[in-house]
């Protein structure tokens, strides 16, 4: 499960933000996922979706200019 989801502490460490701000980010991302029909877990966010939203993934190298 740790490979699939990130906890609030992981989000805070990855972005270098406070834990309270990381909670807001997790809530926002989970609301987006819920709106797309996915099941979410409070206090955790899908790692792949998180990486796409913070621009670590989702773009192919050929798309960059």
Q: Has residue 48 been placed in a domain?
A: yes
Segment holding 6, helix H or strand E: strand 5-7
5 closest CA partner among 53, 51, 56? 51
Over the stretch 35-64, which tens digit does the pLDDT of each residue have? 999 999 999 999 999 999 987 655 554 444
Q: Has residue 64 been placed in a domain?
A: no
Name the domain count of the chain: 1
Domain of 47 in residue numbering reads as: 5-59
Q: Has residue 65 been placed in a domain?
A: no
DSSP state of 61: G
DSSP string, 29-53: HHHHHHHTT----TTEEEHHHHHHH
The whole-number pLDDT of residue 3 equals 85
Over the stretch 1-35, which tens digit does the pLDDT of each residue have? 468 999 999 999 999 999 999 999 999 999 999 99
pTM: 0.79
């Amino acid at each position: 499960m740790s490979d699939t989801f990130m906890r609030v502490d992981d989000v805070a460490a990855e972005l270098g933000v406070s834990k309270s701000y990381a909670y807001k980010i997790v809530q926002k991302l989970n609301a987006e996922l819920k709106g797309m029909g996915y099941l979410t877990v409070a206090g955790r966010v899908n790692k792949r979706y998180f990486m796409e939203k913070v621009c670590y993934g989702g773009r192919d190298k050929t798309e960059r200019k």
